[in-house]
Amino acid sequence: MNKLIFRKFSLDIVNFFLVSSFSITFIVWIIQAVNFLDLVSDDGHSLGVYFYYVSLNLPKIFSKTIIFVFFISIFYVVNKYNNSNELIVFWSNGIKKIHFINFILKFSILFLFLQLFLNLIVIPKTQSLARIHIKESNIDFLPKLISEKKFINVVKNLTIFVEEYKKNGELKNVYINEKINTEKSKIIVSESGKIYKKDNKYILKLFDGGITNINNNNIFTLNFSETDYDLSNFSTKTVTYPKMQELSSVMLINCIKKIYLDKQIDKNQILKSNEKCEDRTLNAISEELYKRLVLPLYTLVISLIGASLIVEPRTKYFIKFHKLNIFLIGSFIIILSQLSLKLFLISINIAYLVLLLPIILIFFYYFLLFSITNYKFNLL
């Protein structure tokens, strides 16, 4: 009987969590997707690349909402059971309040593992796939971004100006400025041109013009009647260098080991153990690992806070504000978990305290609830 009661209780939490988390995740995803429209409007990528890229951000958004939605789910379901007197079923079947709290704590471990799985494996992989796809994708929208009498610079080191752009794809009076490096550049001017696609690459065919090569103070000009200008040689302006959140957790741990094993490396010194860890500092790597490994532990803390709804204060004044107080405490812990990320980098002593903080809170809050439920400890 007790198993059936707890099964229904857990299913109610899961159902509310799934509906709420997917709703919030979808809303945040839509807002974020709008912000990424510059991949098409400014960087020249196709709509297919755009939708693939923004879709890979779903696991990251979902992971960030878990702790808040899980707290709301426990708070809502326990409050619902309390208002409808369904909690009496638990007590009448011999289930003690501490057993009820223990079940919620054990149940929250599933959500802890879900967060760890997303943070350690899924999110770094999907973020890496998104960057790689952007890096390897062609600038398919470039022809549609070219406008008459406007300087277009959607790709690195390349500026295009067209005086007239006809519907059939023909260009009139084309100006191209290509920056090869800090010392070399190339200017191409032609009377006409046309963009066409060949082997999934965009080619700009130019007619009747000249190419001016500039190398320091030397200038060399070459005239042509017809030439092809390969636009596929240029990369997008979108950042293609891997960010910290895109590196695998195993790689980050190995980077940390490399720094600590080499005692001559200062904690702020840039790590150059391999290509992926190059230009990464110890603080940056530690911060990323903290987000992936430690922050999910606050899920256990907020589960205990949500479960404390079953423990009502003895003072009538505090009973009136009991639910509000529990909600505010849970919200404060969630905010504290995010603020701890900033405190983590202040000093080594504070870092140790911040690392232990969620564990301290778990034991403290559990001991408090255990004392209240088993020894009739007076809660206000």
Backbone angles phi, psi at 155, to 5 degrees: -120, 160
All structural domains of the chain with their residue ranges: 2-136+242-375, 142-233
Other CB atoms within 10 Å distance of the CB of residue 356: 11
Q: Look at residue 168 and give its three-state secondary structure.
A: coil
Give percent above pLDDT 90 in the chain. Answer: 24
CA angle in degrees (0–180, nearest 5) for 87-91-95: 115
Q: At what angle do helices 322-343 and 298-307 cross, to 10 degrees?
A: 170
Position 68 scores a pLDDT of 93
> For residue 304, is pLDDT > 90?
yes
Whether the model pTM is above 0.75: no
Position 360 scores a pLDDT of 93
- Say how far residue 337 (Cα) sits from the centre of its chain: 17
The enclosing H or E element of 352 equals helix 348-375
Position 274 scores a pLDDT of 46
Residue-wise pLDDT tens digits, 349-368: 788 888 899 999 999 999 98
Lowest mean pLDDT, pick from 18-22, 24-28, 88-92 = 88-92
